[in-house]
Amino acid sequence: MANPIDSLLETPDVLTQLAVQYGPRVLAAALVLVAGFFVMHWVAKFAARGLSRLPLEQPVRDLLLRVVRIVVLFLFLLIALQNLGIDLLPLLAGLGIAGAGIALALQGVLGNVAAGLTIIFTRPFRVGEYISIAGEEGVVSKISIFSTTLRHSDLSLVVIPNRKIAGEILHNYGEIRQLDLTVNVAYGTDIDAAVGAVRDVLASNPRVLQDPAPLVAAAALGDHAISIAIKPWVTVPDYVAAAGEINPAVVESFRLQGVQIPVLRVTVSA
């Protein structure tokens, strides 16, 4: 058995031999990785300038830039491994086998990625549009590879996995929405005057869009009143506020013009 003291004394010689043999390779590999890091940023910046000139959605640009970064860094990683003297064919074969196992373990994540790519390239909705999907609705604030984020009117956020969106029925309102309001007037009312009063209210409200034109018309004949439908178009951010302004304005306009809004009287028998 070798003397422990002799082995300890031989350690510096072994370290020196390893440093001489593998040191230049490790240093070269490290320099290659550092150079790859800077080249990756330079190529990504150059690619971003080129993609900015193309009519692409922001999520598509982000995805392409991410792919460019990964490809450049992967190429420099292969060069660094070659400098270390590592045989790449067995390594790539091992990565392929490991990738298959990882894919089986991460089926849900990969499903989100596949659905995210479908959403990004088919563009069924865009950032800033109001949609209803998977039992949720709101303004699309972010589209990523894994999920889509909706913003509610109360400023809360809903994050939906993309696999829950792909294949579902989607209601895309776009960037404007149509209010669905109703007001009842008595049967003795001049309908044209009442409709004109509502149109005046809509015309004076800055939140109401004039193109498309608002829809105001007698919608139904009830037992005790005539229902007038009020359906103006507003932008998505003004949807809630516009309804809160139009309703009291219509009531005040009717009061000034003497238009009667019938009140259903409920009688309780003793």
CATH number at residue 13: 1.10.287
Residue 25 has pLDDT above 80, yes or no: no
On the CB side of 183, CA atoms within 13 Å amount to: 26
pLDDT (0 to 100) of residue 249: 92
Q: Are residues 163 and 197 in the same domain?
A: no
Task: Point out the least confidently predicted range of 106-120, 154-168, 192-206, 235-249.
Answer: 106-120
Query: What are the tokens at 242?
Result: 């516009």
Residue 268 has pLDDT above 80, yes or no: no
Identify the domain containing residue 218 by its residue range: 176-257
SS3 151: strand
Q: pLDDT tens digits, residue range 145-204?
A: 888 999 887 888 999 998 888 878 888 988 888 999 998 888 888 888 889 999 999 999
In a domain? residue 234 = yes
Q: Are residues 194 and 248 in the same domain?
A: yes
pLDDT (0 to 100) of residue 20: 59
In a domain? residue 27 = yes
CA-based torsion, 41, 46, 47, 49: positive or negative: positive
Q: pLDDT tens digits, residue range 220-232?
A: 888 788 889 999 9
Q: Are residues 9 and 95 in the same domain?
A: yes
CA dist 192 and 174 (Å) reads 32
Backbone φ, ψ for residue 131 (5° rounding): -130, 160
- Portion of the chain with pLDDT greater than 90, in percent: 15
In a domain? residue 32 = yes
Q: Are residues 50 and 100 in the same domain?
A: yes
Q: Please count the structural domains in the chain.
A: 3
In a domain? residue 112 = no
Could you tell me how far CA 211 lies from the centroid of its own chain? Answer: 27
Q: Are residues 169 and 209 in the same domain?
A: no
Give the number of other Cβ atoms within 10 Å of residue 32's Cβ: 20
Mean pLDDT of 76-92: 70
In a domain? residue 20 = yes
CA dist 21 and 85 (Å) reads 11
Q: Are residues 91 and 130 in the same domain?
A: no
Give the number of other Cβ atoms within 10 Å of residue 174's Cβ: 13
Residue 15 has pLDDT above 80, yes or no: no
Q: Are residues 180 and 252 in the same domain?
A: yes
Q: Are residues 8 and 101 in the same domain?
A: yes
* CATH at residue 230: 3.30.70.100
Q: Are residues 163 and 187 in the same domain?
A: no
The model carries a pTM of 0.58
Mean pLDDT of 32-47: 83
Are 146 and 252 a contacting pair, CB within 8 Å?
no
Q: Are residues 159 and 183 in the same domain?
A: no
Residue 266 has pLDDT above 60, yes or no: no
Residue 38 has pLDDT above 60, yes or no: yes
Q: Are residues 48 and 85 in the same domain?
A: yes
Q: Are residues 9 and 101 in the same domain?
A: yes
Which residue carries 């550092």 as its tokens? 34
Residue 66 has pLDDT above 90, yes or no: no
In a domain? residue 166 = yes
